[in-house]
Amino acid sequence: MHMQSLTRAPRTQADRHTGRLMILPMLVVVSVFSLYPAVDSFLLSLHRWFLGLPSLGRPFVGLDNYREFLQDPIAHQALLVTAGFVLASTALELLLGLGIALVIHEHFVGRGGVRAAILVPWAIPTVVASQMWRFLANDQYGAINLVLFGDDIGAYVPWLADPWSAFGIIVLADVWKTSSFAALLILAGLQLIPDDLYDAARVDGATAWQRFWHLTLPLLKPALLTALLFRTIDAFRVFDLVFVMTQGGPGDATQVIQFYGYKTLFTEGRVGYGTTISVTVFVVILMLSFLYVRMVGSKLLERRAT
């Protein structure tokens, strides 16, 4: 036994060394393309830099940009709009994605074609989908008005000119495009549930609703939390929908925090403050990611224990 342990030790040490060498390229790539830009952005947010005034240089101001962000009413409004968008779009996408997943999980003729068709909106580039929805919501020739009011042009609604309807159209466009992605994640969770559990529940006399509420939904919690994680992160950093459809208008009704940071950085030329907004968004997303990952991990442990 002692001789075996002595002969295995060098191999174990060699395996560990080989493992470190194999992950080294990945660590280098992550450091160059992720870690370095994040650190550089944080350092840049500690300076005051105006693109249009190079003579002022880049003086170090410490946390002044972050103090300005905490007192900026436009930033507060953009955060509220972003929070509303995240809550509305994520909730609708999870509900719709759950419904789609339950339908395409069943066995029926043409299920493969239906699954492929459902993924089409998700495969369309966001800029293309945004432009399509901008045309659909046009107040003169948009298909939404045509379907709702027909030839009664006087009743046409300027959807993108009203604050509430413009916000609703953006949420609707995001839900239409990404609900299929949530459905795909939830479908993966459904396929992990053994059919024997449903057979036993039917033998015990459980109805379809009871099987869903007491069996399917509890076992789907890890998949639902995973979908919630991805969709929350994606919704919080929404930019292209707003950029293409409304440019943050009317007023600031659809100005999300990412678009406000873009305008501050590239339109106003305030590089330091614009970077501060981006760093703040990064920190919020990072905190949400840690929270969701812990929740997903706890649910997986509970599922394994049961």
DSSP class per residue in 212-239:
IIIIIHHHTHHHHHHHHHHHHHHHHT--
pLDDT given at position 289: 82
Nearest 10 degrees: CA dihedral of 173, 174, 178, 183?
Answer: -90
Q: What's the pTM?
A: 0.85
22 belongs to a structural domain: no
Its domain, for residue 137, covers 79-305
50 belongs to a structural domain: no
241 belongs to a structural domain: yes
Q: Tell me which of 32 and 238 has the higher pLDDT.
A: 238
Hunting for tokens 């060498």 — which residue is that?
A: 21
Contact 173, 87 (CB under 8 A): no
Give the CATH number of the domain where residue 229 resides: 1.10.3720.10
83 belongs to a structural domain: yes
pLDDT given at position 298: 66
pLDDT band at 1 (very low <50, low <70, confident <90, very high): very low
pLDDT given at position 302: 63
pLDDT given at position 81: 95
**For range 202-206, the mean pLDDT:** 88
142 belongs to a structural domain: yes
126 belongs to a structural domain: yes
Neighbours of 105 (CB within 10 A): 17
pLDDT given at position 6: 44
199 belongs to a structural domain: yes
What is the Rg, in whole angstroms, of the alpha carbon atoms belonging to the chain? 25
Number of domains comprising the chain: 1
162 belongs to a structural domain: yes
